[in-house]
Amino acid sequence: MKIPQDKISQIHDAIPIEELIGSYIPLKRVGKNFKSLCPFHSERTPSFFISPEKGLYHCFGCGKSGNIFTFMMEYNNLTFPQAIRFLGEKAGIHVESVEDVNENLYKANEFAARLYHSSLFSDNGLPGRKWLEYRGIQRDIVDKFMIGYAPSDSIVYLNSSSKGINLADLETLGLLVKLEGGGYRDTFSMKVIFPIRDRWGKVLGFGTRVLDNSEPKYINSRDSPVFKKGNLLYGLYESQPYIKEEVILVEGYTDLLTLYQSGIKNVVASLGTSLTAYQARLLKLHASSVILIYDGDIEGLKAAERAIDILLETSLNVKILPLSEGEDPDSFVRKYGKLDLSGAQSFVEFKFKECKDVYEKGVLVRSFQQTLSKISDAQKRELWADYISQKLGVNRNFLLVVPTSSPYVKPAVSKMELEGLEIELLALASSYPIVKELLLKNQFEFSTPELSSLFDLVLKGMKPSEILNSVSECLRTSFTKVIFLEGVDSKKMAFDYINRITRWKADLRKIELREIGDKEGWTPEHLAEYQKLTTKLKGG
């Protein structure tokens, strides 16, 4: 059961955004808006603006943006339903206690996490305690991160009925396996358990570690309605109070725990997997700079190189603290006591190496071309190109050439950038009726179901500040910054967005068709489509 939209709208309209935010931080009027030092990052010059007319705030420094609900969520670390109930009480509007659609799954995960944690300190938990003691993880850290142990007997299955936990929910979460002859057994057995929480503390899933020499050593929960491995960062809930402008990114659970215990608390982990674009965007919501500390082996170095490009594409500043071969953050701290973050290098220093011949230099140049192409800020890209040019002794303009790994020209923007363009176009449509009519007239199609659903809200006449409630966290900044634009030629801007998006989609489809043609052979339909797209791009 969801909170009715009309109830959310009542609360939204009853509380002026400037009064709400002004009750937490001092505001200064600037024309029809207000400004202040941003409450979400350190700054000396105010870049945090509030628009009473639009019901929105936006920081032009760190990018934080939203409405009264998102402010309460960010400032007081509340979930969306909690923010609605809190503001409802403030406005004198009764909001019934409404459960999240996945509330039963959250309860089941919380039940399992607490059960595993208590099991760690039972007689059956001795193997887990010995392993944690061997790794040097202290009791206060074990409790703070709710680390647990799954014994050989099926404690989740055996204790679920007495706690009113639905077996089907546990199966959905991957905590139980259904047996052919009937009944269930626990999925995790004789493993150390690491609960993975969202930024508000809800347990979404688990990471596990075997205690013998079997492979793989680490196994995560399977994907479920509440757990998507590539969308989460381990330790974010515990570390976010210490993340100001810089965050440390490591790969594994014990890497994070050891650093946190050593006093480096602004640290998160990518759940032992390759960094995803979504995780990078999640980092961007909390920091402007990232220091990568990955394993010192070949795989760790390769993972760091991949992560650099993903982080730069998200407009994050990136440094890398390289470790000696065979070391990881956990082993390094246990051996030497602490990490010296002052040794972190720029991505250029990290990637640079002395080249023995022209071939090696060509490989390095191509690598820098690829990385520079990910930097969206033109000034930063030019400055880095100058710096790399001096180090390598190659023409800076050549470094700015976008490399290709195939004979096909790559699209001008990534899929992530496309979403950013489309959400900005959608924001224009929510503020200017002429843009909405233009999109309808051109039968414009958004590229994701989320964006299409948001456009439906625009067509229904919903205010931009209310539409924001349905915008995913990672797209809020792009949406809100357009809403704050004033004195623009909205029709001209809309045509520019439509043309750029249309050309990119056509370019991408051409690449897809060429790859299909090379692998499977050209069909008359594919060839006709390809020629039509070529003509369209030439005409555009």
Please list the pLDDT of the chain residue by residue as tens digits (540 residues). 567 888 899 999 999 999 999 999 999 999 999 999 999 887 889 999 999 999 999 999 888 899 999 999 988 878 888 899 899 999 999 887 666 678 899 999 999 999 999 999 999 999 999 999 999 999 999 999 999 999 999 999 999 999 999 999 999 999 999 998 888 999 999 999 999 999 889 999 999 999 988 878 999 999 999 999 988 999 999 999 899 889 999 999 999 999 999 999 999 999 877 898 889 988 988 888 999 999 999 999 999 999 999 999 888 999 999 999 889 999 999 999 889 999 999 999 999 987 888 888 888 988 998 899 888 778 888 999 999 999 988 888 888 886 654 444 444 456 677 788 899 999 999 999 999 999 999 889 998 889 999 999 999 999 999 999 999 888 888 899 899 888 889 999 999 888 888 887 777 777 778 777 777 777 878 888 878 877 766 664
Nearest to 288 by CA among 328, 321, 317, 260: 317
User: In the chain, what's the furthest Cα-to-Cα distance?
Assistant: 75
Say what the pTM is: 0.75
User: Which residue, chain included where needed, has tokens 């609605």?
Assistant: 84
CA-CA distances (angstroms) from residue 91 to 25, 107, 353, 458, 529? 20, 30, 62, 26, 56
Q: What is the pLDDT of residue 403?
A: 63
3-state helix, strand, coil in the chain (%, to 5): 55, 10, 35
Phi, psi (5° rounding) for residue 457? -65, -40
Which tokens hold the place of 14?
């009853």
Buried b (16+ CB within 10 A) or exposed e, 227-262: bebebbbbbbbbbbeebeebbbbbbbbbbbbbbbbb
CA-CA distances (angstroms) from residue 8 to 13, 87, 262, 473? 9, 10, 44, 18
Which tokens hold the place of 96?
């019934």
User: Which residue, chain included where needed, has tokens 């909170």?
Assistant: 3
User: For residues 147 and 383, what is the distance between their CA atoms, to the nearest angstrom?
Assistant: 45
Q: What is the pLDDT of residue 1?
A: 52
Beta strand spans in 145-183 (E): 148-150, 176-178
Nearest to 116 by CA among 52, 186, 49, 179: 186
User: For residues 262 and 336, what is the distance between their CA atoms, to the nearest angstrom?
Assistant: 11
User: For residues 403 and 407, what is the distance between their CA atoms, to the nearest angstrom?
Assistant: 10
Which tokens hold the place of 213?
């020499």
CB 169 within 8 A of CB 136: no
Cα angle 84, 474, 401 (rounded to 5 degrees) comes to 170
Give, for 106, the enclosing helix (H) or strand (E).
Answer: helix 103-120
The number of helix segments (H) and strand segments (E) in the chain equals 25, 16
Q: What is the pLDDT of residue 152?
A: 92
Q: What is the pLDDT of residue 97?
A: 66
User: For residues 246 and 176, what is the distance between their CA atoms, to the nearest angstrom?
Assistant: 39
CB 200 within 8 A of CB 78: yes
